[in-house]
Amino acid sequence: MAHQLLENIPNLHRLVPQVPHPAYDLFSGKLLEPAGVMQEGDTVKVNVCSECLHSLQDGKDLPPRHSLANNLWIGRIPWELQVLTFPEQLLVALLYPRVYVFKLHPKCRGTFDPSQLQRGVRGTVTTYDLDVEGVSTMIEGNLMPRLPEILASVITVTYVGLGELPKNWLHNTFRVRRAVVRRVLRWLKAFNPSTMAISKLMTGGSRHYQKTMCR
C-alpha cells in the first residue's frame, strides 16, 4: 500500500463512475473509499495498493478490478446491519444457499477470558451447498424473524484444542440479541423492497425468542 497524490495517479479517468449516484463519495470526480483518502486543503492523497496501481498503468482502458468504479460500490452500510452477529444475519435472511462450518482454535496457549473469546480465537469458515428443500420445511412463509431452529441447519462450530468448553463461552461467541434483530427487521421492512411485503414481522417471529434469545 502506497500513499499517492491523487493528481499523480495515472489514467484517473478510469476511476470516474459510469452511472451517477447522489450518495457517491467523489474526490475530483473520482469514486474512492473515504477511509483511504487524506485531504488537506486542495491537496488529496490516497492509499493505492500495488495491484490497482499496476492496473491503472497498463494499456487496458478499464477500472482496476477491485476499485469502486468497477461496479463494486454498494453504499454505506447502515448501522442496523453493521452490528449484526453472524447468527443474527441468518435469522433475517430471505434465502439460505449455503451452510457454514466454523473451525476455531486459540491464538495462544493458556487460560481464556470468555468475554474476549471472539478476539482470542482464529480459524476458517467453510461453506457447502445446502439442502434447500430440507431447510424450506422449517420456514413458515413470510414469518420473520426465522425460527431459531434454522441456525442448527446452517451453522456448525468446532473448537479445536480448548479442552472442555464452558457453556457460557458459546453464549458469548455466537449470540443472538432479540432487540437487535427486532431493530434490523423494522429497518429492512421500511427501506428494503425485498422485505417490505413481510406482514408478520413482529407479531409472528419475535414470540419464539422470548426464552431462546439473549438480550
pLDDT at 138: 47
Residue 51 one-letter amino acid: E
Q: pLDDT tens digits, residue range 31-45?
A: 999 999 998 888 899
Residue extents of the structural domains in the chain: 2-57, 79-209
Range 14-51 burial, b when 16+ CB lie within 10 A, else e: bbebeeeeeebeebeebbbeeeeeeeeeeebbbebeee
Q: pLDDT tens digits, residue range 94-145?
A: 777 778 887 766 655 555 555 454 444 445 555 555 555 555 544 555 567 7
| Mean model confidence pLDDT for the chain | 76
User: Is the peptide bond prior to 145 cis by the omega test (within 30 degrees of 0)?
Assistant: yes
> Model-level pTM greater than 0.75?
no
Q: What is the rounded average pLDDT of the residues 23-27?
A: 93
Is residue 144 within 8 A of residue 197, CB to CB? The reply is no
